[in-house]
Structure 1
Amino acid sequence: MAKLVLFNKPFDVLSQFTDTKNPTPRATLSDYIKIKGVYPAGRLDRDSEGLMLLTDDGRLQAQYSNPRFATEKTYLAQVEGAPTDADLDPLRRGVTLNDGPTRPAKARLIDPPSIWERDPPVRYRKSIPDQWIELTIAEGRNRQVRRMTAAIGFPTLRLIRWSIGPYTVADLDVGEYEVKEAMLTPKAASAPKPRRPEGQRPRHNRGQ
C-alpha cells in the first residue's frame, strides 16, 4: 500500500519543502514533516490552513490533485458580512470567475467551528459582522474559494481546508501530521502510472 500523510498546515507555512526564491527563509513543510520521499498531493496557499495530503505514490498523488478524479474538498470559510442562505445560491449553481464558470458547489451557513486559534489572529472590522460558511468543491483552481466568496460579495477572512475525500483534520492539532496506508480508487488504479512523482509543486489543484 502507498504511504499517505495527513498534515494540518498552519497559517503562513508554504506547501513545499524548500524556499529558495526568498532572501528571508519562510516556514515550509520541512519544518514540520520529517518523512523522506513524500510529495504534496495538491497545494494549499500560504495564507490558508488545514488539511494537506502527501504521498510517496505518484498515482495516489494524482488521485487527490488531478481535477479529472473530481475528489471533493470541504472548506470552512469565515467571511466578512452576514450572508443569508439565499446569498449562497449562486455558489450552488456555479459562479463565473475571471477564468470561467465554476462547477456547482455544496454551500451552507454554519456556526463558528470549534477549532484552533490562528497565529496571528484575523483582523476584524468592529462595525462589520462575520459568518462561517462550509463549502465543498471538486475543483482546484488558484485561490478558488476566496474568489467564489468574493464573487457573491463576501470576502474570505480565514480559510481552512477541513477535508479531502474521506480524510479530515478533525483529530489533528495545527502543525501535526498522521501517517496512514491508502489504496487507490479503481479509476486511479487503472490510470497510467506517472513516470515520476509530480514533485512539490504539482500542476494540478493549485489550492486555496
Structure 2
Amino acid sequence: MSRLIVFNKPYGVLSQFTAEGRWQGLSDYLALPGVYAAGRLDADSEGVLILTDDGALQSRIADPRHKLPKTYWAQVEGIPDEAALTTLRQGVDLGDFVTRPAAARVIDEPAGLWPRNPPIRFRAAIPTRWIELVISEGKNRQVRRMTAKIGFPTLRLIRAAVGEWTLGELQPGEWKELHV
C-alpha cells in the first residue's frame, strides 16, 4: 500500500526537504522518511503539496501528460472583468509557451482562510479580488505569469487542490496521511 501525504505548505517553504537561504524546507514540518514531493509549489505560494513513497504515483501526479487538474486561488491586484477571464479560459500566450485553457472565475475570499505571514502588500487605492483557476499543467510560476499577462498581478497564491486531494481543514504546516 502506498503512502500519500496531503500537506498544507506554508508561505516561505520550499518543495524539498532541505532549507536554502531564507527559505525553510519540508523537514521543518515533516519527519517522514521515504516520501517525496509529487510536483512543486513555489516558496512564495501556499497550499496543497502531495508527497508519496510511490514513484509511479509521484509521476502520475506531477507529469502534465496526465492532465491532473490543479485548483488555485489567486488574490490579484485589480478587478478582473469577463474579457480577462475569457483570455484565461482560452489559453494565454506567455511568450515561451501558450497555456492550455483554464477554468477561471471570480470568487469571494475563501472561507476559513488563514492570514499570510508576512501579509501581502496593501495599497488603499488599488482593490483586490480572488479568482479561482483550474489548470491541467503546472509550468514554472505559471499562474502568476498568466494573471500578470492579463493585467492582474497575483499578490497571494494558494493551491486548493491537486486532483481529488484538497486542503480541507488543514492549516499551514499541517498534513494528513491517506493510504492509496
Q: TM-score, normalised by structure 2?
A: 0.96
Q: Indicate the residue corresponding to 1:116 in structure 2.
A: 114
Aligned position for 1:90 = 87
CA RMSD after TM alignment: 1.0
Alpha-carbon shift at residue 25 of structure 1 (Å): 5.9
The alpha carbon displacement at 1:27 in A equals: 1.1
String of CA shifts for 1:87-146, please: whole Å, max 9, x gaps: 210010111012211110000000111211101111111110100000000001000000
Deviation (angstroms), 1:170: 1.8
- 1:83 maps to a residue whose letter is P
Q: How does 1:123-142 map to 2 (within 5 A)?
A: 123-142=121-140
Percent identity (aligned): 57
| Aligned residue type for 2:10 | P
- Write out aligned runs for 1:73-88 (5 A): 73-88=70-85
Q: 2:147, 2:76 → 1: CA distance?
A: 8
Q: How far off is 1:83 after superposition?
A: 1.1
Write the mapping of 1:1-208 to structure 2, written as runs, cut at 5 A: 1-19=1-19, 22=20, 24=21, 26-114=23-111, 115-182=113-180
Local SS of the residue matching 2:87? helix
* Structure of greater Rg: 1
Contact preservation (8 Å) 2:23, 2:43: no
Distance 2:28 2:114 in 1: 19
SS of 1:34's equivalent in the other structure is: coil
Runs of 4+ displaced beyond 6 Å: none
Whether the 8 Å contact between 1:10 and 1:174 is mirrored in structure 2 is: yes
Count how many residue pairs are aligned between Structure 1 and Structure 2. 179
Equivalent position amino acid for 2:177 in 1: V
The answer (yes or no) to whether the contact 1:85–1:109 under 8 Å persists in 2 is no
Residues of 2 paired with 1:25 and 1:36: CA distance? 24
